[in-house]
Amino acid sequence: MCMGFGGFIYYKLNGGIIITSVHALPIFIIVLGVLLFSVSVFGFLGAVFFAFLLIMVILTEIVAGIISIVYEDMTAETFSQFFIDSIHLWESTKSEAVLRSLRGIQDWLHCCGGNKSADWKGNQVQFCCKNSSSNCQAVADQYQVGCGVRFQEKVGDEAVGVGITLLIICLIEIISAFFAFNLAKAGRSQ
């Protein structure tokens, strides 16, 4: 700001900016110094925020890994409850977006309802068809297994693997950060 004010006063007093060879080198050095200072301030702030964000990412990975291992058995129950709550949401709002999401999940997992097809409360014929484009009256044409069970079969078995993978990645990141810290410390001591 002082540079800008000084430039403004110089411009007003001289009626224009006249750069002579005497002024060129000091102006160049001042502008270069301001640019270097600006870049260094942004670099410092970036390093501070990067360190904070890196710590947050590592902690999140640790928590996610532990949770996926510890709560692996609760996958079916949690997903079933989520699905039943979504059915209740659709019943109260009749939202097409919610219905499309529920049908998409049912078509993907080949299931119906959270725990069983009766979660649709009498609308099984409308919402549990294996071929979602038509109403099916026969029980054989309807999905009978709940989406919580199917989700557990499809994803739940991989939860332990995902948790272990997250913890291994986190361990690699911590070891890398430790080596980087020691390398920077060794560079400063020389």
Give me the chain's average pLDDT, please. Answer: 79
Given a cut of 60, is residue 176 above it in pLDDT?
Answer: yes
User: Residue 97 corresponds to which tokens in the numbers above?
Assistant: 């977006």
Confirm whether 154 is domain-assigned.
yes
Predicted confidence band at 18 (pLDDT cuts at 50, 70, 90)? Answer: low
Higher pLDDT residue, 164 or 10? 164
Residue 184 within any structural domain of the chain: no
Name every residue whose Cβ is closer than 8 Å to that of residue 114 and which is 6 or more positions away in sequence: 79, 80, 81, 82, 83, 84, 87, 146, 147, 148
Phi-psi region of 17 (alpha: psi -120 to 50; beta: other; left: phi over 0): beta
Comparison of pLDDT for 21 and 109, the residue scoring more: 109
Express each pLDDT in 1-16 by its tens digit.
Answer: 556 666 666 666 666 5
Q: What is the DSSP string of 68-137?
A: HHHTGGGHHHHHHHHHHHHHHHHHHH--HHHHHHHHHHHHHHT--SSSBGGGGTT-HHHH-BSSTTS---
Segment 73-129, tens digit of pLDDT: 787 788 888 888 988 888 888 888 888 888 888 888 888 888 887 788 776 667 777
What's the pLDDT score for residue 113? 83
- For residue 149, pLDDT over 60 is answered with yes
- List the CATH number of the domain containing 139: 1.10.1450.10
Domain that holds residue 127: 72-159
* Displacement of CA 77 from its chain's centroid (Å): 24
pTM given for the model: 0.51
Name the domain count of the chain. 1
Residue 66 — very low, low, confident or very high, per pLDDT cuts 50/70/90? confident
137 domain residue, yes or no:
yes
